[in-house]
Amino acid sequence: MGKRSSQKKNAAMLDSDDDDSSISSSSSIRSDRMSIWGAEEVQPVKDNLLDQALDALYEKRGSTREKALAAIIEAFNSNMQHEFVEKKFATLMHQCLNCIKRGSSKEISLACRVIGLLALTVGCGDDVREILEESVTPLSQALKSGFDSLKIASVIECLAVVTFVGGNDPQETERSMEIMWHVVHPKLGSNVVAVKPSPAVITAVVSAWAFLLTTMDGLTLSSKHWQEAISYLSSLLDKDDRSVRIAAGEALALIFEIGSLEKFTSESKSSNDNAAQGENSNRIHGLKGKFLNQVRNLSAEAAGKGSAKKDLNSQRNLFKDIQEFLEDGYCPETSMKIGGDSLETSTWSKLTQVSFLLYFLGGGFIKHMQDNEFLHDVFGFTPKSKQLAGGELRMSGGEKRLYKSPNSVLNKARTQFLNKQRMLSKDKNIGRYAVNRGDEEV
């Protein structure tokens, strides 16, 4: 079926003709170093803000560590901190993990953000593998200690990012997806009472789960897992919270795109079992029909009392796209302006990846898309402004050591990364939370 002409082109624009016009400069970090963490707690003799912030993570006072983590986040959003990471990667990682083990909900949330930014900055290689291996247990334990929605959502999103960057095989990714899934579907013992997750937690889980699903070969996941997921996601479309419905709709569209419904609704894997195949076909048809009816209703939902118009429009636009995809096979197309370049999506998989990373990186998204070699590889995106006349990229000394040397992490890990992306190899066009369609803005 031929591709439609895009009506969604240039739908989501981050306008900036100057590469740095939408990016916070590193100079925007407050220069009065003593005022950042408190004059009584930080020695003012150090020259490097990141070194000083890292030292502050050893302090006993939680508020001091929180301010230091916030400063580190700002620094990692403002610039690619390759040289700092090259020297202090392990120390920063372990201090953040300590914050997750002992900190308040706010501190845990900030530390999770730092770890995710650290993983994205490191990119492929042994260091990000270490982040994943060292983080899974503390993150899993944090999910079991208290039910603060901000903390839980931050832990889930961190787990998604470090797995996306550092997971080399399907078993690792499926492990993280199952950890997330147990937050909304806990395994209950005889003395365990289920705690109903908040809409914010459900939204975070579904979006992070779908984000990791974009890297998976569906054949590696069990039939039981898929049936539970599809049934649960379908039930979420009837919930009152609009963000939950939007996240569930995006995840279900992704499942249909990668063919998982057809692959995993069959209880029989025998190609000669005609009765099982017929039953499977009927089940698929029934699930798709139910989903399509839900989609049609949500795409035309009337405004209700107290409903935010923007959220309502986002829902309508999303489910109109899903309806068109289910009925005609067309995926939504979006374009985001990154400086003078356009990052385009034409598949649900790429749209899911872009929107999740846009949400996670926030104000640092443009800078990372311009300068982050790992994200360039993920999206096949090379900013023109980063090229010289001869076609070579302009890099700092730290970037060259990380990416250009024969023993660089990128050269060592490129094959592993490509294997991880094999489900998307057929998608030649580049493609959760905040990428809108139509005439809306990001």
3-state secondary structure 398-420: HHHHHHCCCCCHHHHHHHHHHHH
pLDDT-wise least confident of 112-121, 134-143, 425-434: 425-434
What is the arithmetic mean of pLDDT over 94-108?
A: 95
Residue 86 pLDDT greater than 70, yes or no = yes
State the pLDDT at residue 387.
52
Q: Which of 280, 253, 227, 263 has the alpha carbon at shortest distance from 355?
A: 253
State the pLDDT at residue 267.
45
What is the arithmetic mean of pLDDT over 234-243?
A: 92
pLDDT-wise least confident of 165-174, 241-250, 281-290, 401-410: 401-410
Helices (H), 103-125: 105-122
Q: What are phi and psi of 92, to 5 degrees?
A: -65, -45
What is the arithmetic mean of pLDDT over 182-200?
A: 73
What is the arithmetic mean of pLDDT over 363-389?
A: 84
Give the residue with greater pLDDT, 72 vs 439.
Answer: 72
Q: Which of 66, 61, 135 has the alpha carbon at shortest distance from 94?
A: 135
Percent of the chain at pLDDT exceeding 90: 46
Give the residue with greater pLDDT, 300 vs 26.
Answer: 300
Angle at 288 between CA 277 and CA 315, to 5 degrees: 160
Provide the pLDDT confidence category of residue 279 given band limits of 50, 70 and 90.
low
Angle at 350 between CA 178 and CA 441, to 5 degrees: 110
Q: Which of 187, 242, 244 has the alpha carbon at shortest distance from 210?
A: 244
Provide the pLDDT confidence category of residue 142 given band limits of 50, 70 and 90.
very high
Determine the Cα–Cα distance for residues 230 and 206; give it in Å rounded to an integer: 11
Determine the Cα–Cα distance for residues 87 and 91; give it in Å rounded to an integer: 9
Determine the Cα–Cα distance for residues 252 and 417; give it in Å rounded to an integer: 25
Residue 257 pLDDT greater than 60, yes or no = yes
Provide the pLDDT confidence category of residue 272 given band limits of 50, 70 and 90.
low
Model confidence over 196-234: pLDDT tens digits?
A: 899 999 999 999 999 999 998 655 565 666 677 888 999
Residue 365 pLDDT greater than 60, yes or no = yes
Contacts of 422 (CB under 8 A, 6+ apart): 217
Residue 265 pLDDT greater than 60, yes or no = no
Q: What are phi and psi of 177, to 5 degrees?
A: -65, -40
Give the residue with greater pLDDT, 270 vs 277.
Answer: 277
Residue 432 pLDDT greater than 60, yes or no = no
State the pLDDT at residue 217.
67
Determine the Cα–Cα distance for residues 72 and 77; give it in Å rounded to an integer: 9
What is the arithmetic mean of pLDDT over 152-178?
A: 93
Model confidence over 9-35: pLDDT tens digits?
A: 333 334 434 443 333 333 333 333 333
State the pLDDT at residue 19.
40
Q: Which helix (H) or strand (E) holds 177?
A: helix 170-184
| Chain-centroid distance, C-alpha 71 | 22
State the pLDDT at residue 276.
57
Radius of gyration of the CA atoms of the chain, in A: 22
Provide the pLDDT confidence category of residue 237 given band limits of 50, 70 and 90.
very high
Model confidence over 30-76: pLDDT tens digits?
A: 333 333 444 334 433 334 889 999 999 999 999 999 999 999 999 99
Residue 134 pLDDT greater than 90, yes or no = yes
Taking CA atoms, 188 is separated from 183, 191, 322, in Å, by 11, 8, 35
Which tokens hold the place of 285?
A: 């048809």
Determine the Cα–Cα distance for residues 418 and 424; give it in Å rounded to an integer: 9
Neighbours of 235 (CB within 10 A): 10
State the pLDDT at residue 426.
39
Beta pairing partners, 336: 343
For the chain, what is the mean pLDDT? Answer: 76
State the pLDDT at residue 146.
78
Determine the Cα–Cα distance for residues 92 and 76; give it in Å rounded to an integer: 12
Taking CA atoms, 221 is separated from 117, 140, 213, 228, 229, in Å, by 28, 21, 10, 12, 11
Neighbours of 225 (CB within 10 A): 14
Helices (H), 258-395: 260-264, 274-299, 309-328, 348-361, 365-371, 373-379
Residue 367 pLDDT greater than 80, yes or no = yes
